[in-house]
Amino acid sequence: MLITAALLLTSCTSTPPTSLVTPLPTTGQRSQPLSPSSPTTVRGIWLTTVSRLDWPPVSSIEVSSSALRIRQQQDALKTKLDNLQQLGINTVFFQVKPDGTALWPSKILPWSDVLTGTIGADPGYDPLQFMLDEAHQRGMKVHAWFNPYRVSTNISASTIAKLNRTSSLRPASVFVEHRDWIRTAGNRFVLDPGIPEVRDWITAIVSEVITRYPVDGVQFDDYFYAESSDSRLNDQNTFTRYGQHFASKADWRRNNTQQLIEQVSRTIRQQRPGVEFGISPVGVWRNRSFDPAGSDTRGAAAYDESYADTRRWVQQGLLDYIAPQLYWPFSRSAARYDVLANWWANVVKPTRTRLYIGVALYKVGEPSKNEPDWAIEGGVPELKKQLDLNDSNPNINGTILFREGYLSQPQTGSAVSYLRNRWGK
């Protein structure tokens, strides 16, 4: 999520693709949102588990006993939830699938190594259930946040060895169970989104969570086709097999992402219609220079870079909410916060999809040559302007901060005090 946003303003496609304007579906094609409209303004936060960025504490992996590790992890999570409650946060977006592993006892994925240091090792408790119990006791909602395609955060020899060591486990890592699904992209091991069985597998993982746990929502982040300039996804063989009816590989890739969203949306509607389904994409759908329906921005766009037609999903009613990551200040001319927030507000206005704006807490208080406003008076004036805009636009239904770990960083101290005064009880 963070890395994609950082690259946004520097990796724009140089030539517009052939397919330009996405037509608005006719009334007969639109479907109703999955869950009833929520009257509550969301004050949310992303709580990241990949690489133990926010939780669990790195120190808990190094303790001498499993009982102590469990206690440290549970105490740390309760402390975080207490602090979030005092801050006025009412929704936690909890990363339950950071890669090809799980933070619940899954029959499809092995246990995550962020809990014990070893992929597949039983942590001795159910972190997802613990989070749900503790958050719900505090009157807070929990959305299960999935990274759909990432299998690992790197492709090092040690990572390969760790993945291969799961071969005797049930379930083993998808890296060994379905080696033919695995590709390299963005210097990570990822699943190939063009393989139908891959999309079915991801949908089954979501189904497992929503049928076993009282989660309030499901969210996918922006990693659909997550490539980098030095590490492209080699899916030519997959395209040759499945993509011959498409005018271009780009159109085929977008259709693969479309099919995943449709599958997951349909599954949630059928199995747990009260669970909200949302996506948190990069902030730019398309630039106006490529598409007259796009925003007045300049940078990498979801449609062209990650092959995600996020605007279409809103128009079709496939999502209960969309949470674009608008990680720039008002003064960033290539991607102004107000330009994008108002553009997204206009997109959701004729639909029943709710709009939550992702805000860059990780930039607050940090000196920046390109975005100096984040450091002025501890970033409070910029943060205030963004929240004021969100509150004043009736088509914006909330704010989500990225990410929880930055609440305790020295540079965000003034902003956190401001948030506590503004949101706290």
Q: Which two tokens stand for residue 59?
A: 């120190």
Q: Return the higher-pLDDT residue of 215 and 6.
A: 215
pLDDT in tens, 223-267: 999 999 999 999 999 999 999 999 999 999 999 999 999 999 999
Which residue reads 């490529």 in tokens? 290
Tens digit of pLDDT for each residue in 58-74? Answer: 999 999 999 999 999 99
Q: Is residue 106 part of a domain?
A: no
d(CA 100, CA 63): 25
- The CA–CA distances, whole Å, from 348 to 224, 244, 311, 345 equal 22, 34, 9, 5
- Residue closest to 325 by CA, chosen among 291, 366, 357, 277: 357
Phi, psi of 56 (to 5 degrees): -75, 165
Domain that holds residue 79: 42-50+73-93+129-146+194-423
Residue 361 located in a structural domain: yes
Query: Are 282 and 305 within 8 A, CB to CB?
Result: yes
In a domain, 184, yes or no: no
Higher per-residue pLDDT: 400 or 30: 400
Check: CB of residue 79 under 8 Å from CB of residue 86: no
Residues 45, 400 contacting (CB under 8 angstroms): yes
> pLDDT at position 331, please?
97
Q: Is residue 383 part of a domain?
A: yes
**Can you give the pLDDT at residue 9?**
58
To which residue do tokens 């946003």 refer? 5
**What is the DSSP code (8-state) at residue 415?**
H
- Nearest alpha-carbon partner for 393 in 362, 355, 351: 355
d(CA 145, CA 159): 23
**282-328 confidence digits (pLDDT tens):** 999 999 999 999 999 998 899 999 999 999 999 999 999 999 999 99
- Dihedral (CA of 253, 257, 258, 263) sign: positive
Please tell me the total count of domains within the chain. Answer: 1
**Which residue matches tokens 């037509």?**
23
pLDDT band at 40 (very low <50, low <70, confident <90, very high): confident
- Flag whether 419 is in a domain: yes
The mean pLDDT of the chain is 93
- Is residue 37 in some structural domain? no
Flag the least confident range among 28-32, 284-288, 290-294, 416-420: 28-32
CATH code of the domain containing 343: 3.20.20.80
Q: What is the tens place of the pLDDT at every residue in 128-155? A: 999 999 999 999 999 999 999 999 999 9
At 32 the pLDDT is 52
Confidence of residue 5 (pLDDT cuts 50, 70, 90): very low
Question: Does any domain span residue 240?
Answer: yes
Helices 127-137, 66-87: crossing angle, 10 deg rounding: 30
pTM for the structure as a whole: 0.94
Q: Is 111 exposed, middle or buried (0-12, 13-18, 19+ CB in 10 A)?
A: buried
pLDDT digits (tens, 9 = 90+) for 192-231: 999 999 999 999 999 999 999 999 999 999 999 999 999 9
Q: Supply the pLDDT for residue 38.
A: 57
Residue-level pLDDT at 300:
86
Residue at 168 is within a domain: no
Average pLDDT over residues 72-77: 98
Tell me whether strands 182-185 and 188-191 are parallel, antiparallel or unpaired.
antiparallel
Residue 402 has pLDDT above 60, yes or no: yes
Predicted local confidence at residue 248, as pLDDT: 97
Q: Tell me how far the alpha carbon of residue 377 is from its chain's centroid.
A: 30
Q: What is the pLDDT of residues 322-376, one digit of tens each?
A: 999 999 999 999 999 999 999 999 999 999 999 999 999 999 999 999 999 999 9
Q: How many residues does the chain have?
A: 425
Tell whether the model's pLDDT for residue 125 goes beyond 90.
Answer: yes
* Whole-angstrom distance, CA of residue 268 vs CA of residue 275: 7
**Per-residue pLDDT at 367:** 96
Sign (positive or negative) of CA dihedral 348, 146, 196, 253: positive
Are 286 and 278 a contacting pair, CB within 8 Å?
no
Question: Would you state the structure tokens that stand for residue 324, as one six-digit string?
Answer: 């674009």
